[in-house]
């Protein structure tokens, strides 16, 4: 399959070259986040962790202040601002890092953009009122993730009336049309099927297996599978034992077209990506 995805994103003063697969390092600033258990809630812990991920080769750091575990309720906007904005400011000012912000709140998007964030990552795909306008105004790239419903009401056994990848593709088409109508340039969009968001393990495995069909829209694909329960459920591993399973998923995602991989463990994922990418390059030569 020939990928026509835009390969250079304009992220404020940074550029993100997605002509080959890149890594987004996860930086949780929630006190209750699942897999870091709030260990990075302290500001300088967060900053040291971001520095380490950049040193390991992360192209971008994703700062998130909302726990999206099933059943979690969104934090008040002010609390999310207090968690996220000081970290974004510091990463931009001291490290000149490319920072994305994992948020659904238009206020957080605006404040983050004013502080120099280079990308918005929204698990709700800019469905909150005012979110499209906030992103359009700053011209930043945005990742539109698929989720059926909200984290608050993500079902235990979500149901899709069609193959899950068809449902995700229809969702993407509608969101891309809304974003373009709202003034966001198509070249600034990324798509993410939302592994673990209102999906059973079988849905998640099938989505990865069929990931290549999501290239149909010609937009770069992002994936986030790091440490998620699809690994735990298949392998019977606790959260801290899911790295090796996750590396297998990373390799398959790259082979199926993913260009941005959202992960906790940057160095091992970059090795997996580079190994996979080298094999793929050999296959495309004459």
In 10 A of CB 270, how many CB atoms? Answer: 20
Q: In terms of C-beta density within 10 A (0-12 exposed, 13-18 middle, 19 or more buried), how is residue 142 classed?
A: buried
Binding status of residue 131 toward ligand YH5 by CB under 6 A: no
Stretch that binds ligand YH5, among 43-51, 132-140, 172-180, 187-195 (CB under 6 A): 187-195
Residues of this chain, 103-122, that bind ligand YH5 according to CB under 6 A: 121
How many whole angstroms separate alpha carbon 208 and alpha carbon 206? 5
Binding status of residue 72 toward ligand YH5 by CB under 6 A: no
Angle at 24 between CA 23 and CA 25, to 5 degrees: 110
Stretch that binds ligand YH5, among 51-59, 84-92, 190-198, 244-252 (CB under 6 A): 190-198
Q: Which member of 25, 194, 245, 246 binds ligand YH5 (CB under 6 A)?
A: 194
Q: How many residues does the chain have?
A: 286
Residues of this chain, 144-183, that bind ligand YH5 according to CB under 6 A: 145
Provide the minimum distance between the beta carbon of 126 and ligand YH5 in the complex, in angstroms, as a whole number.
Answer: 12
Closer residue to ligand YH5 (CB): 6 or 222: 222
List, by residue number, the catalytic residues. 228, 262
Binding status of residue 143 toward ligand YH5 by CB under 6 A: yes
Binding status of residue 35 toward ligand YH5 by CB under 6 A: yes
Q: Identify whether the C-beta of residue 143 lies closer than 8 Å to the C-beta of residue 222.
A: yes
Stretch that binds ligand YH5, among 47-55, 89-97, 227-235, 271-279 (CB under 6 A): 227-235
How many whole angstroms separate alpha carbon 222 and alpha carbon 24? 9
What is the CB-side half-sphere exposure of residue 150 using CA atoms within 13 A?
A: 11
Residue in the block written with tokens 């099927």: 193
Burial 78-96 (b: 16+ CB within 10 A, else e): eebbebbbebbbbbbeeee
Contact characters 262-281, ligand YH5, x per CB under 6 A: x-------------------
Provide the minimum distance between the beta carbon of 232 and ligand YH5 in the complex, in angstroms, as a whole number.
Answer: 7
Closer residue to ligand YH5 (CB): 261 or 284: 261
Binding status of residue 138 toward ligand YH5 by CB under 6 A: no
């Amino acid at each position: 399959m020939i990928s026509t995805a835009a390969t250079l994103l304009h992220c404020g003063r940074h550029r993100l070259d997605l002509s080959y697969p890149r890594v987004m390092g996860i930086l949780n600033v929630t006190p209750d986040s699942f897999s870091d258990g709030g260990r990075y809630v302290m500001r300088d812990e967060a900053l040291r962790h971001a520095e380490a991920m950049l040193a390991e080769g992360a192209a971008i750091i994703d700062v998130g202040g909302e726990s999206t575990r099933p059943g979690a309720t969104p934090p008040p906007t002010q609390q999310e601002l207090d968690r996220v904005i000081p970290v974004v400011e510091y990463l931009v000012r001291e490290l000149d890092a490319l920072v994305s912000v994992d948020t659904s709140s238009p206020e957080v998007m605006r404040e983050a953009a004013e502080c120099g964030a280079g990308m918005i990552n929204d698990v709700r795909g800019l469905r909150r009122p005012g979110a499209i306008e906030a992103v359009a105004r700053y011209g930043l790239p945005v990742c539109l993730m698929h989720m059926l419903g909200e984290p608050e009401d993500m079902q235990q056994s979500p149901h899709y009336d069609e193959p899950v990848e068809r449902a995700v593709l229809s969702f993407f088409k509608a969101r891309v049309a809304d974003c373009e109508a709202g003034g966001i340039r198509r070249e600034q969009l990324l798509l993410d099927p939302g592994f673990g968001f209102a999906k059973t393990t079988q849905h998640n495995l099938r989505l990865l297996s069929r990931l290549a069909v999501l290239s149909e829209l010609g937009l770069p694909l992002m994936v986030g599978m790091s440490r998620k329960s699809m690994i735990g459920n298949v392998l019977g591993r606790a959260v801290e034992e899911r790295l090796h399973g996750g590396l297998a998923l990373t390799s398959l995602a790259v082979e199926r077209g993913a260009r941005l991989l959202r992960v906790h463990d940057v160095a091992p994922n970059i090795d997996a990506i580079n190994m996979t990418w080298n094999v793929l390059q050999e296959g495309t030569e004459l």
